[in-house]
Amino acid sequence: MVTPATVTPATLTPATGLIQIYTGSGKGKTSAALGLMLRAAGHGLRVAMIQFMKEQKISGELEILKRLEPICRVECFGGVGLVCKGSNLDTHKQEADNALKQAQEILLSGDWDVVVLDEIFNALWFELIPEQDVLALLEQKPPQVELVLTGRNASPPFLEKADLVTEMREIKHPFQRGIKARPGIEY
Protein backbone atom coordinates (compact mmCIF):
# COMPACT_ATOMS: atom_id res chain seq x y z
CA MET A 1 0.00 0.00 0.00
CA VAL A 2 1.29 3.46 -0.93
CA THR A 3 0.86 6.17 1.68
CA PRO A 4 0.49 9.78 0.57
CA ALA A 5 3.30 12.19 1.30
CA THR A 6 2.77 14.41 4.29
CA VAL A 7 1.67 17.82 3.17
CA THR A 8 2.36 20.71 5.49
CA PRO A 9 1.30 24.34 5.17
CA ALA A 10 4.91 25.26 4.43
CA THR A 11 4.96 22.96 1.40
CA LEU A 12 1.67 24.38 0.14
CA THR A 13 2.46 28.08 0.47
CA PRO A 14 2.65 29.53 -3.04
CA ALA A 15 6.21 30.34 -4.04
CA THR A 16 4.91 33.56 -5.51
CA GLY A 17 1.81 35.14 -4.06
CA LEU A 18 -0.26 36.94 -6.65
CA ILE A 19 -2.67 39.86 -6.53
CA GLN A 20 -6.25 38.97 -7.45
CA ILE A 21 -9.17 41.35 -8.01
CA TYR A 22 -12.88 40.50 -8.04
CA THR A 23 -14.81 43.56 -9.21
CA GLY A 24 -17.90 44.61 -11.18
CA SER A 25 -21.56 45.35 -10.56
CA GLY A 26 -22.65 41.73 -10.27
CA LYS A 27 -23.11 39.57 -7.22
CA GLY A 28 -20.39 37.17 -6.13
CA LYS A 29 -17.22 39.15 -5.43
CA THR A 30 -17.10 38.41 -1.71
CA SER A 31 -18.37 34.88 -2.33
CA ALA A 32 -15.50 34.23 -4.76
CA ALA A 33 -12.99 35.49 -2.19
CA LEU A 34 -14.58 33.32 0.52
CA GLY A 35 -14.39 30.30 -1.78
CA LEU A 36 -10.69 30.91 -2.27
CA MET A 37 -10.25 31.26 1.49
CA LEU A 38 -12.02 27.95 2.14
CA ARG A 39 -9.95 26.18 -0.50
CA ALA A 40 -6.73 27.56 0.97
CA ALA A 41 -7.77 26.72 4.54
CA GLY A 42 -8.66 23.21 3.40
CA HIS A 43 -5.02 22.82 2.37
CA GLY A 44 -3.82 24.12 5.73
CA LEU A 45 -2.97 27.64 4.60
CA ARG A 46 -3.63 30.50 6.99
CA VAL A 47 -6.24 32.95 5.67
CA ALA A 48 -7.36 36.38 6.83
CA MET A 49 -10.09 38.74 5.63
CA ILE A 50 -10.52 42.41 6.44
CA GLN A 51 -13.99 43.63 5.50
CA PHE A 52 -14.28 47.32 4.67
CA MET A 53 -17.63 49.12 5.05
CA LYS A 54 -19.27 46.17 6.78
CA GLU A 55 -20.60 46.42 10.31
CA GLN A 56 -20.26 43.50 12.69
CA LYS A 57 -23.42 41.62 11.74
CA ILE A 58 -24.33 37.98 11.84
CA SER A 59 -23.79 36.33 8.47
CA GLY A 60 -23.50 32.68 7.60
CA GLU A 61 -20.04 32.98 6.09
CA LEU A 62 -18.61 34.79 9.12
CA GLU A 63 -20.15 32.27 11.51
CA ILE A 64 -18.60 29.29 9.72
CA LEU A 65 -15.22 31.01 9.33
CA LYS A 66 -15.09 31.55 13.11
CA ARG A 67 -15.06 27.76 13.43
CA LEU A 68 -11.86 27.63 11.40
CA GLU A 69 -9.85 29.70 13.88
CA PRO A 70 -6.87 29.89 14.32
CA ILE A 71 -6.06 29.27 10.64
CA CYS A 72 -8.79 31.70 9.63
CA ARG A 73 -9.37 35.27 10.78
CA VAL A 74 -12.08 37.75 9.76
CA GLU A 75 -12.41 41.33 10.98
CA CYS A 76 -15.19 43.74 10.02
CA PHE A 77 -14.91 47.51 9.94
CA GLY A 78 -17.78 49.85 9.10
CA GLY A 79 -19.81 52.73 10.40
CA VAL A 80 -23.48 52.38 11.20
CA GLY A 81 -25.85 53.17 8.36
CA LEU A 82 -25.42 53.88 4.68
CA VAL A 83 -22.55 55.88 3.27
CA CYS A 84 -23.44 58.96 1.22
CA LYS A 85 -20.59 60.09 -1.00
CA GLY A 86 -19.43 63.54 0.03
CA SER A 87 -21.40 63.92 3.28
CA ASN A 88 -21.58 62.57 6.84
CA LEU A 89 -18.46 60.47 6.39
CA ASP A 90 -16.45 60.98 9.60
CA THR A 91 -17.31 57.67 11.29
CA HIS A 92 -17.07 55.75 8.01
CA LYS A 93 -13.68 57.32 7.23
CA GLN A 94 -12.36 56.42 10.67
CA GLU A 95 -13.54 52.82 10.30
CA ALA A 96 -11.99 52.55 6.81
CA ASP A 97 -8.73 54.00 8.13
CA ASN A 98 -8.76 51.45 10.97
CA ALA A 99 -9.41 48.67 8.45
CA LEU A 100 -6.50 49.79 6.28
CA LYS A 101 -4.15 49.89 9.27
CA GLN A 102 -5.27 46.41 10.31
CA ALA A 103 -4.86 45.17 6.73
CA GLN A 104 -1.29 46.45 6.67
CA GLU A 105 -0.51 44.80 10.01
CA ILE A 106 -1.95 41.46 8.89
CA LEU A 107 -0.36 41.58 5.44
CA LEU A 108 3.12 42.34 6.79
CA SER A 109 2.95 40.10 9.88
CA GLY A 110 4.18 36.96 8.14
CA ASP A 111 1.39 35.00 9.84
CA TRP A 112 -0.99 34.70 6.86
CA ASP A 113 -0.72 33.01 3.46
CA VAL A 114 -3.86 34.53 1.92
CA VAL A 115 -5.15 38.01 2.77
CA VAL A 116 -8.48 39.33 1.46
CA LEU A 117 -9.37 43.03 1.51
CA ASP A 118 -13.11 42.74 1.02
CA GLU A 119 -15.00 45.77 -0.39
CA ILE A 120 -11.85 47.87 -0.44
CA PHE A 121 -12.76 49.28 -3.85
CA ASN A 122 -16.05 50.55 -2.42
CA ALA A 123 -14.13 52.31 0.36
CA LEU A 124 -11.95 53.90 -2.32
CA TRP A 125 -14.92 54.92 -4.48
CA PHE A 126 -16.59 56.60 -1.50
CA GLU A 127 -13.28 58.39 -0.83
CA LEU A 128 -13.01 56.95 2.67
CA ILE A 129 -9.33 56.11 2.18
CA PRO A 130 -6.76 57.52 -0.26
CA GLU A 131 -6.00 55.45 -3.35
CA GLN A 132 -2.26 56.11 -3.03
CA ASP A 133 -2.28 54.51 0.45
CA VAL A 134 -3.79 51.30 -0.90
CA LEU A 135 -1.42 51.24 -3.88
CA ALA A 136 1.48 51.70 -1.44
CA LEU A 137 0.18 48.72 0.55
CA LEU A 138 0.27 46.59 -2.61
CA GLU A 139 3.92 47.56 -3.06
CA GLN A 140 4.65 46.32 0.49
CA LYS A 141 3.02 42.91 -0.09
CA PRO A 142 5.42 40.13 0.85
CA PRO A 143 6.18 37.99 -2.22
CA GLN A 144 4.74 34.77 -0.77
CA VAL A 145 1.34 36.23 0.26
CA GLU A 146 -1.69 35.87 -2.01
CA LEU A 147 -3.62 39.15 -1.85
CA VAL A 148 -7.26 39.44 -2.94
CA LEU A 149 -9.12 42.74 -3.32
CA THR A 150 -12.87 42.94 -3.89
CA GLY A 151 -15.53 45.56 -4.58
CA ARG A 152 -17.12 47.55 -7.35
CA ASN A 153 -15.28 50.16 -9.39
CA ALA A 154 -11.69 48.89 -9.32
CA SER A 155 -9.69 51.69 -10.90
CA PRO A 156 -7.13 51.24 -13.72
CA PRO A 157 -4.02 51.46 -11.50
CA PHE A 158 -5.23 48.41 -9.56
CA LEU A 159 -6.26 46.52 -12.68
CA GLU A 160 -2.75 47.10 -14.05
CA LYS A 161 -1.07 45.93 -10.85
CA ALA A 162 -3.15 42.75 -10.48
CA ASP A 163 -2.17 39.33 -11.79
CA LEU A 164 -5.78 38.15 -12.06
CA VAL A 165 -8.90 40.30 -12.57
CA THR A 166 -12.42 38.89 -12.66
CA GLU A 167 -15.37 41.15 -13.38
CA MET A 168 -18.78 40.08 -12.08
CA ARG A 169 -21.46 41.48 -14.38
CA GLU A 170 -25.09 41.66 -13.33
CA ILE A 171 -27.47 40.32 -15.95
CA LYS A 172 -30.46 39.62 -13.73
CA HIS A 173 -31.01 39.91 -9.98
CA PRO A 174 -33.98 38.90 -7.78
CA PHE A 175 -33.86 42.32 -6.07
CA GLN A 176 -35.27 43.74 -9.32
CA ARG A 177 -38.44 41.74 -8.57
CA GLY A 178 -38.60 42.90 -4.96
CA ILE A 179 -36.98 39.83 -3.44
CA LYS A 180 -34.90 40.97 -0.48
CA ALA A 181 -31.67 39.43 0.80
CA ARG A 182 -32.29 35.98 2.27
CA PRO A 183 -30.45 34.41 5.20
CA GLY A 184 -28.24 31.54 4.13
CA ILE A 185 -28.18 32.75 0.52
CA GLU A 186 -27.22 36.44 0.46
CA TYR A 187 -25.95 36.73 4.03
Q: What is the pTM of this model?
A: 0.87
Q: Would you give per-residue pLDDT tens digits along the chain (187 residues)? A: 333 344 455 555 556 899 999 999 999 999 999 999 999 999 999 999 999 998 767 788 888 888 999 999 999 999 887 787 777 688 899 999 999 999 999 999 999 999 999 999 999 999 999 999 999 999 999 999 999 999 999 999 999 999 999 999 988 888 888 888 887 777 7
Q: Would you say residue 86 lies in a domain?
A: yes
Q: Would you say residue 78 lies in a domain?
A: yes
The tally of domains found in the chain comes to 1
- Sheet containing 114-118, strands listed edge to edge, beginning at the edge strand earlier in sequence: 72-77, 47-52, 114-118, 146-150, 19-23, 164-167
List, as one string, the DSSP characters of 42-92: HTT--EEEEEET--S---HHHHHHHTTTTSEEEEEE--SS--BTTBS-HHH
Collect all residues with Cβ–Cβ distance below 8 Å to 184 and sequence separation of at least 6. 60
Q: Would you say residue 127 lies in a domain?
A: yes
- Residue 181: the pLDDT is 82
Q: Would you say residue 182 lies in a domain?
A: no
CATH of the domain at 83: 3.40.50.300
For 56, the domain range is 15-169
Q: Would you say residue 164 lies in a domain?
A: yes
